[in-house]
Amino acid sequence: MRLRVLVLTNLFPTPWDPLRGAFNRQQFERLAQHHDVDVLTAVDFRERMAGVKGQVSVDGVRTDHFTFVYPPRIGRSLHAACWALSLWLQRGRRLRAAGYDCLLASWAYPDAAAAGWLARRLGIPYVVKVHGSDLNVQAEHALRRLQIRSALRGAAAVVTVSRALAEKAVALDAPRSMVHVLYNGVDPALFSPGSRSQARAHLHLPPDTPLVLYVGNLKESKGCLDLLEAFPALMAAQPAARLVYVGAGPCWGPLLERATALGFAERVHLVGAIPHDALGDWFRAADLLCLPSHNEGVPNVVLEAMACGTPVVATRVGGIPEVLPDVAGLLTPAHDRQALSGALVEASSCHWDREAIARQASAFRWDDNVSRLADILRDAAATAPAAARATA
């Protein structure tokens, strides 16, 4: 049965943030090969006011957006109500007429909390997909926790990207039988082993310099500042080492200021955000990927680096230990800069079997992911008559 699926999320590319949510883009693009998929993305009103940054075209997916409006400097516990009202006022008439079979909300708060209300109003079942800090951080706040719990309990299914997140969903009263662990996939056409020297030549990097790579948002909770503070230990062991950050975010300025204060700004390079399909050469060029996050689901950059045969140093948080075996990297406690320093030095001196690392990543396939997601959505859609009666 071909489904008509409505996806509601803030994690998807828009003209105001064309690089956002690459993992969702890959998943929904593949889902659209088998089902009719409409993705309606929430755009923060402040982001919209900042202006368009690029164009977005996603094969097979009908995309649209609405502006998420909320009163600034007011508690975030009101955001789900503002999200739902913004959506309904801007797109409610169209949504009522669309005849969707089910709804997929990708992100727990405010997206899923608001989507549960919308699904009941439309008389269709909904599935919640959670990613990491939506449960690890947002659910730690009492009023938001109540709304997230309600959204999970009312869903026809809950999809998590790790077993650790699945346990958090169950702790929030999601029925265990309705919770599905679904690891993200890796695109082998983009991420596979290759020549390091060729990758470095393409990126205009020195051919022999030890290179540690960070890929992700430049924000404190991702550990980017922890990595900077840990880096001098590696420079002491390997004086030519360089640290490259790929990404953008609020820590851009603090990273530069701190590197200057520590006296090694010339060894730190901030590349900025780059398109997802351009990351492969960065992973192949690096000696190590380091992602010392304070909380996580399962970050795709870890899987993608492994698929390129690149070892990973990461923190033992969220679902990272589930996907990063000893053969592919080292794990350290979050917030522990001394342990991170030691791991960087140890990993840089190890002889890594890059083919074995890539084999570990080959288990994470988008085809398998999307097939299972389609089954979950199909089962959810089968509950539609009961859902419709309940909301009549």
Q: Do both 206 and 340 map to the same domain?
A: yes
* 356-365 residue pLDDT tens: 999 999 999 9
CATH label of the domain that carries residue 283: 3.40.50.2000
* 365-389 residue pLDDT tens: 999 999 999 999 999 999 876 444 3
Q: Do both 273 and 333 map to the same domain?
A: yes
**15, pLDDT greater than 50:** yes
Task: Kindly report the backbone phi and psi dihedral angles of residue 354, in degrees, each rounded to the nearest multiple of 5, phi listed first.
Answer: -65, -30
Q: Do both 233 and 117 map to the same domain?
A: no
The pTM (predicted TM-score) of the whole model is 0.93
Average pLDDT of 25-49?
Answer: 97
Q: Do both 200 and 213 map to the same domain?
A: yes
Residue 190 lies in a domain: no
Start-end of H helices in the chain: 22-31, 45-49, 79-98, 113-122, 133-136, 142-154, 163-171, 196-203, 224-237, 252-262, 279-285, 300-307, 320-323, 337-349, 354-361, 366-381, 384-391
Query: What share of the chain in percent tops pLDDT 90?
Result: 95
Residue 89 lies in a domain: yes
* 72-87 residue pLDDT tens: 877 889 999 999 999 9
Average pLDDT of 301-326?
Answer: 97
Query: What share of the chain in percent tops pLDDT 70?
Result: 98
Q: What is the pLDDT of residue 386?
A: 46
- Please give the mean pLDDT across all residues of the chain: 95
DSSP code at position 100: -
**390, pLDDT greater than 70:** no
Q: What is the pLDDT of residue 385?
A: 62
Q: What is the pLDDT of residue 340?
A: 98
Cβ(47)–Cβ(16) under 8 Å?
yes
Place of tokens 């094969």: 59
Cβ(322)–Cβ(166) under 8 Å?
no
Q: Do both 162 and 243 map to the same domain?
A: no
Q: Do both 135 and 239 map to the same domain?
A: no
Average pLDDT of 37-60?
Answer: 94
Residue 49 lies in a domain: yes
Q: Do both 134 and 277 map to the same domain?
A: no
Residue of 317, 286, 301 lying closest to 215 (CA atoms): 301
Q: Do both 201 and 280 map to the same domain?
A: yes
Q: What is the pLDDT of residue 388?
A: 46
**4, pLDDT greater than 70:** yes
Place of tokens 């909320």: 70
Residue 16 lies in a domain: yes
Number of domains in the chain: 2
Q: Do both 126 and 271 map to the same domain?
A: no
Q: Do both 128 and 204 map to the same domain?
A: no
Q: What is the pLDDT of residue 387?
A: 41
Q: Do both 243 and 376 map to the same domain?
A: no
Q: At what angle do helices 224-237 and 252-262 cross, to 10 degrees?
A: 30
Residue 191 lies in a domain: no
Average pLDDT of 151-175?
Answer: 97
Q: Do both 97 and 168 map to the same domain?
A: yes
Q: Which residues form the domain of 238? A: 196-361
Q: What is the pLDDT of residue 389?
A: 36
Q: What is the pLDDT of residue 72?
A: 82
Residue 392 lies in a domain: no
pLDDT band at 392 (very low <50, low <70, confident <90, very high): very low
Average pLDDT of 230-255?
Answer: 97
Task: Kindly report the backbone phi and psi dihedral angles of residue 233, in degrees, each rounded to the nearest multiple of 5, phi listed first.
Answer: -65, -40
